[in-house]
């Protein structure tokens, strides 16, 4: 998995440019990263920045800021990403979608990120506003597919570009084979790495990686992990990912469904075990969904990273 991706044809050596996600992935150590979303209220903003400062103390490899359904949080995403780049020591990745944006608007956004030193962008086509499973309508002056967005970003400057990967398959893909082909096309368009949609069975990730490798593509694929901290998280995960929650795991949570503390503990233990297995199987890193709350993901990170990140191991008493 590590090493120079064979599906990309662009990029420079690490010595010739600032720190980028692709450079971190080729350094030989697993990356650990966290994902935030733009809050809608002032209180939510204050809470987010408390969490960001807590995460900053852990010195993760990078953090990312989502774009919101239908591109509805574009301005807040840009503002938060800019502030992370200028006011913290964190390496930010900006999510960018093609929804409701002309090429001119997309180029403007790319320029804003470049202006504050943000060199990492996660390019996704995005869901239609209002109904994520509604009909996709291309902006009359925009792009149709994520691979076009990847090319646009790559042509605009020295960016490290990530794309989305789907261990189960994208809800709009007719089958796994076509979903794999769509993914490889994004990589061949210039993607340096990928971050998966959330999943709860390590085998789903490993099957995805094997399918992609069989197509001759070795772009690093970072697994995205969301621990189950509430019983309601199970239904929410199915809605967000479009993938069924594993039956054997659901049965474990059903046994403790009436005990919130037990659900949380089981969720943390399950996520930790899965992270350990993924890393043992050669996953290039772990990307945690935080929902702007650092407690559970911070616990998991500290438990698994202390044995794998030299800096953290040296700091232990």
Q: What is the pLDDT of residue 1?
A: 33
Rounded to the nearest angstrom, the gap between the alpha carbon of residue 190 and the centroid of all alpha carbons in its chain is 17
* Nearest alpha-carbon partner for 100 in 122, 68, 78: 68
- Catalytic position from the list 35, 82, 147, 148: 35
Q: Which two tokens stand for residue 172?
A: 């709009």
- By three-state DSSP, how is residue 164 classified? strand
pLDDT recorded at residue 137: 65
* Residues of the chain under the 70 pLDDT cut: 1-18, 68-74, 127-138, 140, 142, 308-317
> Please, are residues 170 and 179 in contact by the beta-carbon 8 Å criterion?
yes
Catalytic-residue membership of 56:
no
pLDDT at 227: 93
The pLDDT score that the predictor gives to residue 177 is 93
Q: What is the pLDDT of residue 58?
A: 92
Q: Is the Cβ–Cβ distance between 126 and 67 less than 8 Å?
A: yes
CA distances from 64 to 10, 59, 94, 96, 174 (A): 23, 14, 6, 11, 29
Residue 316 has what pLDDT? Answer: 41
The domains found in the chain, sorted by start residue, are 14-312 (3.20.20.220)
């Amino acid at each position: 998995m590590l090493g120079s991706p064979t599906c990309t044809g662009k990029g420079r050596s690490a010595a010739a440019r600032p720190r980028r996600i692709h450079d971190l992935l080729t350094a030989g150590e697993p990356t650990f990263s966290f994902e935030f979303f733009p809050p809608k209220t002032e209180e939510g903003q204050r809470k987010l920045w408390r969490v960001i400062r807590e995460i900053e103390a852990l010195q993760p490899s990078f953090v990312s800021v989502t774009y919101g359904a239908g591109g509805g949080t574009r301005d807040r995403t840009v503002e938060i990403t800019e502030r992370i780049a200028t006011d913290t020591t964190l390496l930010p990745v900006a999510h960018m979608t093609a929804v409701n944006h002309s090429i001119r608007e997309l180029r403007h956004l790319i320029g804003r990120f470049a202006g504050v030193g943000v060199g990492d962008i996660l390019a996704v086509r995005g869901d239609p506003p209002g109904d994520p499973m509604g009909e996709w309508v291309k902006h009359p002056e925009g792009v149709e597919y994520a691979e076009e967005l990847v090319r646009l970003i790559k042509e605009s400057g020295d960016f490290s570009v990530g794309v989305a990967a789907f261990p189960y398959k994208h809800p709009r893909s007719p089958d796994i084979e076509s979903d794999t082909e769509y993914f490889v096309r994004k990589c061949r368009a210039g993607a340096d790495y990928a971050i998966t949609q959330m999943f709860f069975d390590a085998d789903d990730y490993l099957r995805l990686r094997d399918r992609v490798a069989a197509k001759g593509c070795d772009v690093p694929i970072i697994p995205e992990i969301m621990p189950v901290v509430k019983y309601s998280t199970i239904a929410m995960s199915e809605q967000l990912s479009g993938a069924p929650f594993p039956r054997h795991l659901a049965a474990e949570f059903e046994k403790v469904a009436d005990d919130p503390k037990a659900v949380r503990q089981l969720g943390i233990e399950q996520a930790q075990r899965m992270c350990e297995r993924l890393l043992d199987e050669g996953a290039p890193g772990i990307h945690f969904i935080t929902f702007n709350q650092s407690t559970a993901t911070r616990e998991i990170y500290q438990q698994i990273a202390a044995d794998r990140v030299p800096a953290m191991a040296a700091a232990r008493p």
